[in-house]
């Protein structure tokens, strides 16, 4: 098959895989197509965590199964070789006597990591790897970061005024938070929350803003809420403690009581890097694939200062405060990848140069 044609079929796998965004974590997003004589005869994607994988859905979608023994299966990630929530996809491919498998990228998860390819080749199946490898890795950057760095993929997010402030100066929670973003930017923020696993704020943000940290503007699944409360000074009247969404509170205190959808976890606060490492270790153990750090300024700068971030999402409005809480400053290794205008707001997305 022509290499350019292989790239077209792999791109279709990537497009299908994207349909699982927000529903398959902590699994990767995977799409698959079956090609017979340069024509797609079946396709599928991983729809939801715990349900059938992309390769199985693609094979099951083929009406004439007799064509499988003359077809090539394309998939953007190496087929699994182990039992998890579902049987191994490599076994299912072998069972249906598919002679060739084309793969976007090898899976770095320790239970796969080349074992799926080995199993296919041992069954005399031709395997071709690294078709649109860069694109395949980028699509599942959360998944690869999670397994290779043993921590969630970290998004930093804030909104700032045109003169560089993220809030007015406030010292009590009777003063309402300043609205910087417009309604479209807010809706986009809620969409982003819906596709990530967790959302993280500091103590002052919880106190002063009393946020819900939900997806009210998008009506999809809510991320797990994560908050710092070193001395357990957050009142239970806050929206974070409404027991509607699973919430994790990190503290250094010994006396606390877990409730429905509320878990307290004790960590050390003496050293900020050790604190972040402890937090990220816990989130990794809880299979939280990605988090959005939404503030405040102190927490965001703590992540930046200790180089714990992967992308930063920054909204800039046309408002001016004159004075207030300064916007975080990204380091020199931040690369601007996206620059969009959203009515009277600007959206910039930065990635960390590796």
Q: Which residues are catalytic?
A: 55
Query: Within a 10 A sphere around the Cβ of 272, how many other Cβ atoms?
Result: 15
What dihedral angle (degrees, nearest 10) is formed by the CA atoms of 216, 190, 324, 233? Answer: 60
List the structure tokens of 340: 């969009």
249 Cβ neighbours under 8 A, 6+ residues apart: 227, 228, 229, 234, 256, 262, 263, 264, 265
Q: Work out whether strand 325-326 and strand 165-167 pair parallel, antiparallel, or are unpaired.
A: antiparallel
Is residue 112 classed exposed, middle or buried when 0-12, 13-18 and 19+ CB atoms within 10 A define those classes?
Answer: buried
229-268 CB burial, b ≥16 within 10 A, e <16? beeeebeeebbbbeeebbbbbbbeeeeeeeeeebebbebe
Q: What are phi and psi of 234, to 5 degrees?
A: -80, 125
198-225 CB burial, b ≥16 within 10 A, e <16? bbbbbbbbbbbbbbebbbeebeeebbbb
The CB-side HSE value for 235 (13 A sphere, CA atoms) comes to 7
CA nearest neighbour of 278 among 310, 306, 320, 257: 306
List the structure tokens of 225: 């809420």
Q: Phi-psi category of 42—alpha, beta or left, where left has phi over 0 and alpha has psi -120 to 50?
A: beta
- Collapsing DSSP states into helix, strand and coil, what is residue 138? helix
Q: Phi-psi category of 326—alpha, beta or left, where left has phi over 0 and alpha has psi -120 to 50?
A: beta
Q: Work out whether strand 262-266 and strand 100-103 pair parallel, antiparallel, or are unpaired.
A: unpaired
């Amino acid at each position: 098959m022509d290499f350019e044609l292989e790239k077209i079929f792999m791109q279709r796998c990537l497009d299908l895989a994207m349909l699982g965004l927000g529903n398959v974590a902590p699994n990767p997003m995977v799409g698959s197509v079956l090609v017979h004589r340069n024509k797609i005869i079946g396709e599928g994607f991983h729809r939801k965590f715990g349900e059938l994988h992309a390769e199985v859905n693609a094979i099951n979608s083929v009406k004439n199964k007799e064509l499988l023994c003359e077809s090539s299966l394309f998939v953007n990630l190496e087929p699994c070789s182990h039992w998890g929530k579902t049987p191994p996809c490599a076994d299912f491919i072998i069972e249906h006597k598919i002679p060739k498998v084309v793969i976007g990228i090898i899976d770095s998860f320790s239970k796969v990591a080349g074992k799926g390819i080995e199993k296919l080749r041992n069954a005399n199946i031709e395997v071709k790897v690294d078709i649109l490898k860069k694109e395949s890795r980028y699509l599942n950057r959360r998944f690869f970061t999670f397994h290779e760095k043993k921590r969630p993929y970290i998004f930093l997010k804030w909104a700032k005024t045109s003169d560089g402030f993220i809030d007015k100066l406030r010292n009590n929670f009777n003063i309402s938070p300043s609205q910087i973003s417009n309604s479209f930017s807010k809706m986009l923020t809620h969409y982003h929350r819906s596709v990530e696993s967790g959302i993280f704020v500091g103590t002052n943000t919880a106190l002063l803003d009393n946020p819900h940290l939900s997806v009210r503007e998008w009506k999809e699944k809510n991320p797990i809420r994560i908050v710092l409360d070193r001395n357990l000074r957050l009142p239970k009247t806050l929206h974070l403690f409404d027991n509607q969404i699973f919430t994790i509170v990190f503290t250094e205190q010994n006396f606390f009581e877990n409730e429905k959808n509320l878990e307290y976890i004790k960590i050390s606060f003496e050293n900020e890097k050790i604190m972040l490492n402890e937090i990220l270790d816990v989130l990794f153990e809880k299979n939280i694939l990605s988090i959005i750090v939404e503030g405040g300024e102190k927490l965001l700068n703590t992540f930046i200062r200790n180089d714990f971030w992967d992308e930063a999402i920054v909204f800039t409005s046309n408002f001016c405060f004159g004075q207030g809480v300064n916007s975080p400053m990204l380091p020199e290794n931040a690369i601007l990848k996206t620059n969009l205008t959203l009515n009277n707001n600007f959206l910039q997305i930065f990635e960390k140069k590796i």
